[in-house]
Amino acid sequence: MTSFTYSTGPARVVFGSGTVATLPDEVAQLGASRVLLIGSGRARPADEALGSLVAARFDGAVMHTPVDVTGKALAVLRDHAADCLVAVGGGSAIGLAKALALRTGLPQIAVPTTYAGSEATPVLGQTADGAKTTVRDPEVLPETIVYDVDLTVDLPVNLSVTSGINAMAHAVEALYSPGANPVADQQALDAIRRLARALPRIAADPADRSARDDALIAAWLAGTCLGSVQMGLHHKLAHVLGGKFGLPHSETHTVLLPHVMAAMAPAAMDRVADALGVSDAPTGVYDLVVALGGPTSLRELGLTEADLAQVDDHQALLRQAWEGNRPRQTGLPDTRALTKQVVDSFSGGEPRTRALLQDLVRTMHSYVLRNDLTEAEWMHAVTFLTRTGQISGDTRQEFILLSDTLGVSSVVDVLTNSRTPDTTPSAVLGPFYTEGPPERPHGFDIADGLPGNPLWADIQVADTHDKPVADAIVDVWQSNEDGYYDVQLPDLDGPVLRARFRTDADGRLRFWSIVPASYPIPADGPVGQLLAAVGRHPNRAPHVHFMIAKPGFHTLVTQLFVKGGDYLDSDTVFGVKDGLIVDFPAQQGPTPDGRDVSRWSRVDFVFRISEG
């Protein structure tokens, strides 16, 4: 037999874009005219909308609602005879308004700018002397919530992720609370569904309004359903960690959620897994957090091992969360002790080597588990790698090609070489560079008579203050009209379409070549088969390679891509960056050096390199 008690808050909700403009009306509907505005920078649109209704402002709200801060705000409220509270921001601003409402009975309007959901609960957490206590009282529930999606579009991705997972934690807790009821269940499941689809879209494009809409609706639903049930283990742990050790609220929720879920009966998690669209809910949330770049361990939030030991209950769960382990996948054998044993076996040697190998083990074990890998699949992978090695040699490096087509080379390249926006973006070296290309004079034709559309390149090398860099060594290489490099054509006589130049006193160099064409990477080996297996094409967008070196500067390895060329959006090695796509305009009339050709193109580009 089902039995429950359901009560709902009286809150009025205004949702949309530009809804801060309704604030004066909303204040009037509450019969008020002297607003205490709580919030910091994000409160400006509300401040402007409220105009002369603002009697006083308080921007000192902090996390976990310490009672001494509430005392200060209370003094401001009384000094200015405020008759209404408007809180704009996340859990801190809204928490403070609730604390003030509890003490004064004043009506509140919450204008949330995060997904914390606190505006929809009659619950207030306060801290005093390092302990957090929770009050549940209808008085703390805001009378009105104004959700304005416009206020959320510039919420940074990391905060969007952690406050979104915080909202998901509310929904999960509501589903499994002893006070669960059918209304809250539907709200919770819808909130989980919306967050699972919105958060990856927000991480990819923080200005995606429909994703922001979804996430904000989810935050409201999650807060509302949590408000109608009792809180459970998840909030209990989060409150202990927040109150005692000052751990950040939404980050703590984000780390705890998968582990609390893993501690619940597996069957209880089926509805959550369904809503998330995964087969296993705890690992599904953990993997979502990893994919979104959110925190996974209490350790990274600053909790020390000594702190951990001070918490009395739930040590096993908290240890998993502290270490940031992926929860055990339900329905699979528990291999965590095995993984730990292997990780621990790599405990000697040089620290960086050890750390890299230990993480490789963790990541690979997790990959096998996540995919419930079969022996046949693993043997297939081993055979693939064996063939990749067998086909590699002095003139072919299939492993680099594998790294390139998996995008790993580009990630390493971005990490290593593209850390400052002031320098020209880098791009992968590729397998066709040869050391020490022939040094050529300015104006030389590196195509050496090969067929193709003649290209005049006028290049300058400058430092990050726009000062020309003289005497820089610039290696250039590219493929021929058919997409082959000289090293792939054994019949060619000598190096061609590759050369070394030296910049002149103005940092410039000029040379002739031919307009590059798109070409397939070598696709007759295991990597080509891998691409074919998923219907990926093997082509690179048309480009010319450059390597620019000068003592005292970081060497720049990069490529210039032909604007309008094929495959710019789907370059098979992920080398294309916006700043490297340049015009190669067709020209008519005389050439810069008087060379007699009727049809030619040119490319002009300034490379910026940095000292160091």
> Which chain residues interact with ligand BEZ by CB under 6 A?
401, 404, 428, 430-432, 521, 540, 573
Q: What is the C-alpha separation between 249 and 44, in angstroms, rounded?
A: 24
Q: Kind and range of the H or E element at 166? A: helix 157-176
* Part of the chain binding Fe ion (CB under 5 A), chosen from 50-58, 337-345, 429-437, 465-473: 429-437
Shortest Å distance, C-beta 39 to Fe ion: 53
Q: Which is nearer to ligand BEZ, 11 or 576 (CB)?
A: 576
Structural tokens at position 437: 């290309």
In the complex with ligand BEZ, the residue whose CB is nearer, 227 or 430, is 430
Would you say 255 or 573 has its CB closer to ligand BEZ?
573
CB atoms within 10 A of CB 535: 6
The candidate with the shortest Cα–Cα distance to 608, out of 462, 413, 421, is: 462
* Residue 435 CB, nearest approach to Fe ion (Å): 16
- Give me the least distance between CB of 540 and ligand BEZ, in Å please: 5
Q: Which stretch binds Fe ion (CB under 5 A): 15-23, 341-349, 423-431, 549-557?
A: 423-431
Shortest spacing between CB 575 and Fe ion, in angstroms: 8
Helix or strand (DSSP H, E) at 417: helix 408-417
Query: For residue 317, what are the CA distances in angstroms to 151, 260, 308?
Result: 36, 7, 11
Q: Distance between CA 118 and CA 569 in Å, rounded?
A: 42
Question: Which of ligand BEZ, Fe ion, none does residue 404 bind to, with CB < 5 to 8 Å depending on kind?
Answer: ligand BEZ
List 38's β-bridge partners, or say none: 58, 87
> What single DSSP character describes residue 512?
E
556 C-beta neighbours (distance < 10 Å), count: 24
Token digits for 73? 């705000």
**Which CB sits closer to Fe ion, 223 or 430?**
430
- How many chain residues are in contact with Fe ion, going by CB under 5 A? 1
Residue with nearest beta carbon to Fe ion: 430
Minimum CB–partner distance for residue 561 and Fe ion (Å): 10
User: Which of 323, 169, 196, 184 is closest to 260 using CA atoms?
Assistant: 169
Q: How far is the CB of 431 from ligand BEZ (least distance, A)?
A: 5
Q: Between residues 142 and 431, which has the closer beta carbon with respect to ligand BEZ?
A: 431
- Residue 415 or 505: the one with the smaller Cβ distance to ligand BEZ is 415
Site string for Fe ion, 440-479 (x = CB under 5 A): ----------------------------------------
Looking at the Cβ atoms of 243 and 542, the one nearer to ligand BEZ is: 542
Q: Single out the residue of 601, 562, 565 nearest to residue 581, CA to CA.
A: 562
Q: Which does 428 bind (CB under 5 to 8 A by kind): ligand BEZ, Fe ion, none?
A: ligand BEZ
Decide if 405 contacts 532 (C-beta within 8 A).
Answer: no
Min CB(385)–ligand BEZ separation in Å: 18
Ramachandran class of 507: left when φ > 0, alpha when ψ lies in -120 to 50, beta otherwise: left
73 binds, among Fe ion, ligand BEZ, none (CB under 5 to 8 A by kind): none
Q: Give the distance from CA 21 to its chain's centroid.
A: 32
**Cβ 521 to Fe ion shortest distance, Å:** 8
Smaller CB distance to ligand BEZ: residue 117 or 516? Answer: 516
Is the distance from CB of 591 to CB of 546 less than 8 angstroms? no
Residue number of the CB closest to ligand BEZ reads: 430
The window from 72-80, 153-161, 257-265, 430-438 that contacts Fe ion (CB under 5 A) reads 430-438
Cα 512 from Cα 445, distance rounded (Å): 4
Least distance (Å) between residue 416 CB and ligand BEZ: 16
Report residue 148: phi and psi, to 5°.
-115, 105
Q: How distant is the alpha carbon of residue 298 from its chain centre?
A: 19
Q: How many residues does the chain have?
A: 612
Using alpha carbons, select from 256, 73, 96 the residue that is nearest to residue 173. Answer: 256
User: Which C-beta is closer to ligand BEZ: that of 427 or that of 472?
Assistant: 427
| Part of the chain binding Fe ion (CB under 5 A), chosen from 57-65, 380-388, 394-402, 425-433 | 425-433
Instruction: Tell me the closest approach of the beta carbon of residue 481 to ligand BEZ, in angstroms.
Output: 15
Strand partners, 475: 500, 547
Judged by beta carbon distances under 5 to 8 A according to partner kind, the member of Fe ion, ligand BEZ, none in contact with residue 521 is ligand BEZ
Contacts with Fe ion by CB under 5 A lie at 430
